[in-house]
Amino acid sequence: MTANALLNAAEAEFADSGIEDASLRAIMRAADADAGSVHYHFRTREALVRAVLDRILAPLNARRLKLLDEAETVSDSPLDLDVLIEALVRPDVEAACVLDGRSRGSARLIGAIYIRPADFVKERVEDHFRPVAERFLPHLTCSLPHVPLDLLSWRVRWCVFGMVGALMSDELAPFVSDSEELIARLVAVSVAGVSAGASV
């Protein structure tokens, strides 16, 4: 139970203060844990950060891959771009609702992961996203043959995940009030950004 309490407290503290500036004392106090509990359960601060990231990113990316599997099962032809983009952004909105349910404002952690990750956080995030990129990029290139791969990758990074990260970083993000409307808006804007002319 203490390990889970520490993860919940760390999630909230990382969202409020940033991963690099978060206070271990604040985390232990919020978890009602003693001074040695972080070391006992996680050994190091970096291991605690990894555990928090894994708890968020593993199910989030598993959901992306499941949505892609479902889309592939339904269609033999190339997948529509809006279906692919929705499979990328829907899990973020769902994860934000789960995080916010555990601790109000914790969805900002997704924004921090996507927009301003520290180097060791960036490496962990890239590890989690590698299987997603390997599965989605062939579909995206098939849907957008006029966009060179390097430009397409850049657009997905910033037109999709940059926008999602900016939204999640906003303390007033409206993801709880109407998730489906938000997903529809994110998909529409992302599709427009990703599919623009190749020279842009």
Looking at the predicted structure, is the pLDDT value of residue 95 above 60? Answer: yes
CA–CA separation, 90 and 92 (whole Å): 5
196: its two tokens:
């623009």
Q: What is the pLDDT of residue 75?
A: 78
Q: What is the pLDDT of residue 174?
A: 58
Task: Select the more confidently predicted residue: 27 or 170.
Answer: 27
Question: Is 56:95 a contact under the CB 8 Å cutoff?
Answer: yes
Question: Is 175:111 a contact under the CB 8 Å cutoff?
Answer: no
175 pLDDT band, cuts 50/70/90, is: low
Looking at the predicted structure, is the pLDDT value of residue 93 above 60? Answer: yes
CB half-sphere exposure, 197, CA atoms < 13 A: 2
Asked, for residue 158, whether it belongs to a domain, the answer is: yes
Asked, for residue 37, whether it belongs to a domain, the answer is: no
Looking at the predicted structure, is the pLDDT value of residue 176 above 60? Answer: no
CA distance readout (Å), 131 to 43, 66, 77, 146? 28, 12, 22, 24
Looking at the predicted structure, is the pLDDT value of residue 144 above 90? Answer: yes
Asked, for residue 30, whether it belongs to a domain, the answer is: no
Asked, for residue 17, whether it belongs to a domain, the answer is: no
190: its two tokens:
């992302």
Q: What is the pLDDT of residue 52?
A: 94
Q: What is the pLDDT of residue 198?
A: 61
Q: What is the pLDDT of residue 99?
A: 85
Looking at the predicted structure, is the pLDDT value of residue 1 above 60? Answer: no
**109-142 confidence digits (pLDDT tens):** 888 888 878 788 888 889 999 999 999 999 999 9
CA–CA separation, 136 and 63 (whole Å): 13
Looking at the predicted structure, is the pLDDT value of residue 158 above 70? Answer: yes
Asked, for residue 104, whether it belongs to a domain, the answer is: yes
| Mean pLDDT estimate for the chain | 89
What is the CATH number for 137? 1.10.357.10
Mean pLDDT, residues 153-177 taken together? 83
Mean pLDDT, residues 177-181 taken together? 81
Asked, for residue 123, whether it belongs to a domain, the answer is: yes
Question: Is 37:2 a contact under the CB 8 Å cutoff?
Answer: yes
Mean pLDDT, residues 172-190 taken together? 81
**Domain housing 124:** 53-194
Please name which of 147, 32, 144 lies closest in space to residue 80, comparing C-alpha atoms. Answer: 144
Count the domains in the chain. 1
CA distance readout (Å), 63 to 66, 91, 107, 188? 5, 6, 17, 20
Mean pLDDT, residues 48-70 taken together? 95
Asked, for residue 80, whether it belongs to a domain, the answer is: yes
CA distance readout (Å), 166 to 16, 22, 115, 116, 162? 15, 20, 7, 10, 6
Asked, for residue 26, whether it belongs to a domain, the answer is: no
